[in-house]
C-alpha cells in the first residue's frame, strides 16, 4: 500500500480549542491503516511546519490514547519516536498530536524494494537491540505475559476480539480456542526487557535505509523480549522465509525459542 493509498483527503475534523492553533493551515487526510477503533489523520502542506499526525478516540478506547501519550513522553530520548505536539483528554474523548516521522514503513520498503530486505532486517534488529537495552528498572509500565493475558481475558469477555482478523494458521478459530491454546504454554520463563509491544513492520519508519523511528507506542512496557521478536519475525516471514532467521541472528539469538514465539503470536491474536 502506497502512502497515497493509505491517506484519503478529508475535511478538517473538529478538535478541542487547545489544539486548534496547532492544526490550523494544514491539509487533512484520513489514514486508513492502524486506526484500531479511532480516527487517525495526517496533516501536511503547511509552509515551514512539519507534517503532523492526529489520533482521536472516544469512549472505551480513549484510554488507549492516554497510554500512548505517557509512553511517548517516557521514551523520548531513549529511542527515536515522534515528538509530542499536543494532547487533550476529556471524560469521553482523547486527542494526541505528534510530528510525523520521515520515510515509509518497513512494510512498504520491503514490498517496494526486495533487494533491500536484508539491510532492512539488520536495521530493525539494531533498533530492537537499542530498545531492549533500556534499563528495565527505569520503566514504569508492565506489559508482561501474565498482565496481557489478563487484559486478553477482559477483551474476550467483552466481545472485543475480532476472530475474522486472526492469522491464516488460525483462520476459523474462536477467541476461546486461542485462549485454550495459550494456557498450554503457561508458565513462561520471563526474560524481561523494555518492549514496544506491537513491533510490526507497519510501526517502524525508515528513510534511505535508516530507521527514523517507531510509532503506535501504547503497549510499551516491560515484557519478555520475544513479545517483539515474535511479531516482527512473523511479519518478515510473509516476505521471505529466510528473513526471520536473519533477524534472530543479527539480534544475537542462535537458538530460537519456538515455544515462546508461538505463545506470543497466540496472545497477539486477542488484541
Catalytic residues: 198
Identify any residues that bridge with 211 across adjacent strands, giving them in sequence order. Answer: 206
Distance CA 151, CA 130 (A): 27
Amino acid at each position: 500500500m502506497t502512502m497515497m493509498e493509505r491517506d484519503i483527503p478529508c475535511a478538517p475534523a473538529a478538535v478541542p480549542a487547545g489544539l486548534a492553533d496547532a492544526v490550523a493551515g494544514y491539509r487533512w487526510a484520513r489514514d486508513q491503516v492502524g486506526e484500531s477503533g479511532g480516527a487517525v489523520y495526517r496533516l501536511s502542506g503547511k509552509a515551514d511546519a512539519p507534517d503532523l499526525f492526529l489520533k482521536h478516540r472516544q469512549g472505551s478506547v480513549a484510554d488507549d490514547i492516554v497510554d500512548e501519550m505517557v509512553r511517548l513522553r517516557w521514551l523520548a530520548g531513549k529511542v527515536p519516536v515522534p515528538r509530542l505536539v499536543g494532547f487533550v483528554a476529556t471524560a469521553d474523548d482523547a486527542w494526541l498530536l505528534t510530528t510525523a516521522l520521515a520515510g515509509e514503513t518497513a512494510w512498504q520498503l520491503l514490498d517496494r524494494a526486495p533487494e533491500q530486505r536484508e539491510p532492512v532486517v539488520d536495521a530493525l534488529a539494531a533498533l530492537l537491540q537499542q530498545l531492549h537495552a533500556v534499563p528495565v528498572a527505569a520503566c514504569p509500565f508492565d506489559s508482561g505475559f501474565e498482565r496481557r493475558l489478563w487484559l486478553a481475558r477482559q477483551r474476550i469477555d467483552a466481545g472485543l476480539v475480532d476472530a475474522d482478523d486472526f492469522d491464516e494458521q488460525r483462520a476459523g478459530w474462536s477467541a476461546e480456542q486461542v485462549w485454550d491454546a495459550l494456557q498450554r504454554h503457561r508458565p513462561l520463563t520471563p526474560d524481561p526487557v523494555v518492549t514496544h509491544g506491537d513491533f510490526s513492520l507497519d510501526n517502524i519508519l525508515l528513510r534511505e535505509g535508516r530507521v527514523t523511528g517507531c510509532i503506535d507506542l501504547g503497549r510499551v512496557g516491560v515484557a519478555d523480549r520475544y513479545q517483539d521478536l515474535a511479531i516482527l519475525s512473523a511479519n518478515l516471514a510473509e516476505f521471505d522465509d529466510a528473513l526471520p532467521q536473519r533477524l534472530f541472528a543479527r539480534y544475537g539469538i542462535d537458538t530460537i525459542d519456538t515455544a515462546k514465539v508461538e505463545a506470543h503470536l497466540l496472545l497477539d491474536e486477542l488484541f
